[in-house]
Amino acid sequence: MSPFFSETAWLCLAVTAALGGLVLCKLQQSPGQVGRKVVCLACLWGGVCLLSLSLFWGLLLFSLSCFLLYIYLSGQELLPVDQKAVLITGGDSGIGHALSKYLDELGFTVFAGVLNENGSGAEELRRTCSNRFSVLQLDVTNSQQIKDAYSKVVQKVQNRGLWAVVNNAGILGLPTDGELIPMTHYKECMAVNFFGAVEVTKTFLPLLRKSKGRLVNISSMAGGVPLLKLAAYGSSKAALTMFSAIMRQELSKWEVKVSVIQPGGFKTNITGTAEMWNKLEKDILDHLTPDVKEEYGQDYILSQRNFFNSLTMYSSSDLSPVLLDIQHAISAKNPYSIYTPGSGAYLWFCFVSFSPTGIFDYFNKKLHSFHNSMPRTLSMPNWKNKAM
């Protein structure tokens, strides 16, 4: 090995170490979860470079990669809060409630839209948050309440403008077979999860265009991964995801950045209460035709409630990954278009996108195999012969 080559190799090694240190520093400043994936890919790429190429060319290529990664992460630095105003829907409980408190602690001026301004969730927000905080009566399916909320926001922010809108309000309904879900439940999911978010967006967009701010829509892993029992909920979230993708492109000319958050399983109050489950079960039974009720059987229909327990088993009570990603979407110079917080969420999206349909369907059914109940007709012996 020539002295020149040796000196050059040591120089590349020093440059690589310096750039690697800068990349790690930039990563520390980013609260989002995606940065970890980027660093893992960078380390994997570095290993491939060093193993497949000579030491000199491997270090040179890896140094260039670190430099590009540094430029990329520079765009992920967070803008100063400066009491930027943020509107959040669905602040009564769950992610919206936790996010309202979190952003208030960071110094944002938060407007928390709630379904019931006199409810316990709204009262807790008033009690625990700063004097910058405002609770707004905001049922996203009520056009007049959306207009009233807009007027109150304009009155308070005045010339400061509105920096971000977070469309978080959503409902789940009772997970069951798509054939059993009444049309009223499909319409309710679309009304809250999709049409409500669209109307809030359209109403507040003039303020976002003025501030060149952020639109953040809280979708779901179910909006991109066809999970069993979630036909109504998943379809409404898929519509919201597509709406976000189109608005991201259309609003770019106004310098408004749009992100969609697609969380995996997290424990929130979206699953509702026992009283709500009873009502949903009654609605399902009341809307079924006699032949469908006979085919599925009442025992099977009532056993669908057990699905809630399975959702809880695979859900995390730590909402911090979601909150950090939303903060990044609101505050980063160049936020990501899609965030997938939650254990395994990103892998599920990759799996459904790149695997053959038959393989995905097989593993998806295996995942739900813990729910062993079968419709009445299918549990009868020789049902296939009777069908023929």
Active-site positions read 233
Q: Are 263 and 238 in contact (CB under 8 A)?
A: no
CA distances from 173 to 20, 270, 283, 304 (A): 48, 8, 11, 12
Contact indicator for 193, 233 with CB cutoff of 8 Å: yes
Q: How many Å apart are CA 19 and CA 388, to the nearest integer? A: 69
Nearest to 114 by CA among 123, 103, 105, 102: 123
CB-CB contact of 221 with 344 (8 Å) = no
The b-or-e profile of 90-114 (16+ CB within 10 A means b, else e) is bbbbbbbbbbbbbbbebebbbbbbb
Tokens describing residue 127: 């009690």
Pairing of strands 85-88, 109-114: parallel
Nearest to 94 by CA among 72, 69, 114: 114
Contact 261, 217 (CB under 8 A): yes
